[in-house]
Each structure stands twice: as structure tokens, then as C-alpha cells.
Amino acid sequence: AVKLEHHVWACTTCGACVYSCPVKVNHLDVIYGVRRALVAQSKVGKKVADVLMSLSQYNNTMSMPNAGRHDWLRELGVTHIAENPEAEYLLWVGCMGSFDSRSREIIKAFVSILQRAGMLNKVAILGDEETCCGDPARRLGEESRFQEIALNNKQIFEKYNIRKIIMICPHGYNVFKNEYPEFSIKLEVYHHSQVIQKLIADGKISVKDGKEALTIHDPCYLARYNKVAEPQRKILIRLGEVKEPPRRGEKTFCCGAGGANYWYDVPEEKRISHIRFEELVATGASTIVTLCPFCNAMLSDAKRTKESAVAVKDIAEVVAEKLITQPSRRPT
């Protein structure tokens, strides 16, 4: 029984089993069902219990008070939705983006891109009113908590008439796009790579051509679950030479954090993140480009363990470094 429980918690919910199944059996439904039963019996590890407690006490996964969670963003000129009710997009910063110092750098890079494009006034944040998206609660089997979070967010979205939302996290992207409609919440959901690619295509920002060798780590919840794999490639072919790993796009390989596995200590000697990192390094690229704060954290950890010189950067950071000060005019 203990071994079975381990396998249930060790699943990253990457969806590769469902994708590969010739008769499309959804194995994840079984995994989630068992997790819900284990949570109901309080059969969870300490890290999982701590995350669920954090969601209950703080409305985020980081055990941090919500007060002032976006003060640093306001210092960058990003307005609260109450101050800018005409904003076209809500920037959902997320738990990692709000509290994790490394993920904040990703948000800052994206904000700098929006600023260069003259789009900053079209984007607003929720500040202290932002909570978790609920994805970790549902993946961990705490369904009632997930529903509470979703309904609370529904009230906030209705309060500010929010229709369009930008995410840096594919897990939030997936839950808002595909699972919130269960609660009659309909949003236009954009991943920040989609926004950046459109800004480049529309001539709102210009980037320097480069020769750097880049490889892409496609997040499972972006490329496999939601089939978003082209925007990142259209961006990077402008910035350098793209060296693809064998497992990419819908056939990507997990970083190891999905399914709330970020908070589960897998006892196996060979970690998933290390396997994936080695695959990406084998492409010969000098930079691994990520599109998810969790992927970035997992691959950065593998980089430290391997003492590798390969850089791990989010796509927003790579683009921000290549911005041309004066965007070139498009031919009329």
C-alpha cells in the first residue's frame, strides 16, 4: 500500500501516458481519484500537508501573507485594476511570480517588454486581491479547496469585469482556460510567450538578431495539454540558432514539477529534472529557454547539481536582453 501511495504522489501529471495511449484512456482520472481519497484520509507527506495548509491560511502556496505581494510591481509602474479599470488585460502574477525571487525576475523582464511596446497602461494587476489559481489544490486531490479558490476568483473577475488574462505559468494557463469554465468562468487566456510573439510580429518591439545556440524546454501543460509550441519557436529563430531536443512540442519530456510534484520528494536516485537537463545540454545549446517558473526552478536546480555552464533563462528574459532601443518601423 505504501508503494502504491508513492507511485500516486510521484506522478507529475505530465499527460504523456494519455497522449501515447492508442485508445485514449485517461489514466490521470484514476490518479486524481486516489489522491482525493488519500487527502480525505490525511495520508499525505509533510510537504504536501504544508502546501495545503498554506492554501488554507494564506491563499497561496508559499506560506506568505498576501499583504504587499505586488508592491514591487507597482514600483515598476504596473497599476492595480481598481486604478486602471480600462486595462485590457489582467496580468496574473501567480504564487511563484509574486513571492519567489527568481520568478520575479521573469515578471520584471516581461514588464520591461510591455513597457517598451507601450503596452503597460493596457495591463493591470490584482495586488493583494490575487490568490492562488487553484491548480496545486486540484492536482493534490484537495478538490473542495480548489472549488473554493475558483469561486472566489470568479467573484473577483466579475467585480473588475476581467475578460482577458496573461499568465507566465502554464499550470495557471491550463486551469483558467480549461477548468474554470466548469464554474461558468470564461476568460481569454494568453501565455506570455504568445503576447511577446504578437508584439514582435506587429512591430511593437524589435529584437537584435543573434547567433547564440538556444534550446527550448516545452512545458507539459503548455505544449502537450494546450498545444502551444509555435510562438516560442517563432520568437527564438529571430534571436539565434534553435537546437531542438528529441522530445519537444507535444512530445516534450517533463521537468519533474508537474502535478504539484514540486512539493514532493521523489526518493529515486535519478531525478526527472536531471534527465531532462542532460537531454537539453546534449543539444549543444548555450542557453536553455524555459516558459514556466516551475520548469525554470527545476532545471536551474539540475544545473547547480551538474555544475554546468549552460544558462537557464525564461523566454521573457532572453527577449528583454535583445530588445532594440528604438523599434524599427514596419513597411507601409
Beta-bridge mates of residue 164: 188
Which residue did the predictor score with more confidence, 306 or 4? Answer: 306
Q: Which residue has the cell 532572453?
A: 318
Residue 27 lies in a domain: yes
Residues 131-147, mean pLDDT to the nearest whole number: 98
Distances in Å between the Cα of 246 and the Cα atoms of 175, 179, 258, 276 are 28, 30, 20, 11
Burial per residue of 159-187, b for 16 or more beta-carbon CB atoms within 10 angstroms, e otherwise: ebebeebbbbbbbbbbbbbebbeeeebeb
Distance of alpha carbon 273 from alpha carbon 297, whole angstroms: 10
Phi-psi region of 185 (alpha: psi -120 to 50; beta: other; left: phi over 0): beta
Radius of gyration of the chain (CA): 20
Q: Is the pLDDT of residue 332 over 60?
A: no
Residues 297-322, mean pLDDT to the nearest whole number: 96
137 & 249 share domain: no
Give 1's pLDDT tier (boundaries 50, 70, 90): low
Residue 327 lies in a domain: no
Contact 151, 144 (CB under 8 A): no
Q: Which residue has the cell 491560511?
A: 57
Residue 328 lies in a domain: no
Give 78's pLDDT tier (boundaries 50, 70, 90): very high
Residue 38 lies in a domain: yes
In tens, the pLDDT along 105-127 reads 999 999 999 999 999 999 999 99
pLDDT given at position 267? 67
158 & 75 share domain: yes
Residues 153-160, mean pLDDT to the nearest whole number: 98
Residues 188-192, mean pLDDT to the nearest whole number: 99
Give 2's pLDDT tier (boundaries 50, 70, 90): low
Q: Is the pLDDT of residue 136 over 60?
A: yes
Residue 332 lies in a domain: no
Q: Is the pLDDT of residue 75 over 90?
A: yes
Residues 269-278, mean pLDDT to the nearest whole number: 91
Residues 157-182, mean pLDDT to the nearest whole number: 98
255 & 126 share domain: no
Residues sharing a CB contact under 8 Å with residue 153, sequence separation 6 or more, in sequence order: 131, 133, 134, 180, 185
pLDDT given at position 270? 80
Residue 50 lies in a domain: no
172 & 235 share domain: no
Give 329's pLDDT tier (boundaries 50, 70, 90): very low
Give 331's pLDDT tier (boundaries 50, 70, 90): very low
In tens, the pLDDT along 256-270 reads 999 988 987 766 668
169 & 217 share domain: no
Residues sharing a CB contact under 8 Å with residue 297, sequence separation 6 or more, in sequence order: 96, 100, 102, 103, 257, 262
Kind of pairing between the strands at 89-92 and 164-167: parallel
Q: Supply the CATH number for residue 190's domain.
A: 3.40.50
35 & 130 share domain: no
Q: Is the pLDDT of residue 255 over 50?
A: yes
pLDDT given at position 233? 98
Backbone phi, then psi, for 213, in 5-degree steps? -85, 120
Q: Is the pLDDT of residue 219 over 70?
A: yes
- Spatial CA neighbour of 253 closest among 229, 283, 228, 223: 223
Which residue did the predictor score with more confidence, 287 or 329? Answer: 287
Give the end of a domain, one of 138, 172, 196. 196
Residue 329 lies in a domain: no
Kindly tell me the sign of the dihedral angle through the C-alpha atoms of 109, 217, 195, 187. negative
317 & 247 share domain: yes
Q: Compute the CA torsion angle 223, 229, 232, 237 (nearest 10 deg).
A: 140
Residues 233-247, mean pLDDT to the nearest whole number: 97
Residue 53 lies in a domain: no
pLDDT given at position 264? 78
- Spatial CA neighbour of 314 closest among 332, 297, 301, 327: 297
Which residue did the predictor score with more confidence, 4 or 223? Answer: 223
Q: Which domain holds residue 253?
A: 205-321
Contact 254, 14 (CB under 8 A): yes
250 & 192 share domain: no
Q: State what percent of residues in the chain have pLDDT above 70.
A: 96
Residues 248-262, mean pLDDT to the nearest whole number: 95
pLDDT given at position 214? 99
Residues sharing a CB contact under 8 Å with residue 27, sequence separation 6 or more, in sequence order: 17, 18, 21
Contact 133, 176 (CB under 8 A): yes
Give the end of a domain, one of 134, 169, 196. 196
Kind of pairing between the strands at 212-216 and 287-290: parallel
- Spatial CA neighbour of 200 closest among 122, 124, 117: 117
Give the end of a domain, one of 172, 196, 220. 196
228 & 175 share domain: no
Q: Is the pLDDT of residue 330 over 50?
A: no
pLDDT given at position 5? 84
Domain count, the chain: 3
Host H or E run for residue 315: helix 315-321
3-class secondary structure, 328: coil
Which residue did the predictor score with more confidence, 170 or 327? Answer: 170
Residues 154-159, mean pLDDT to the nearest whole number: 98
220 & 283 share domain: yes
Distance of alpha carbon 223 from alpha carbon 233, whole angstroms: 12
192 & 210 share domain: no
190 & 210 share domain: no
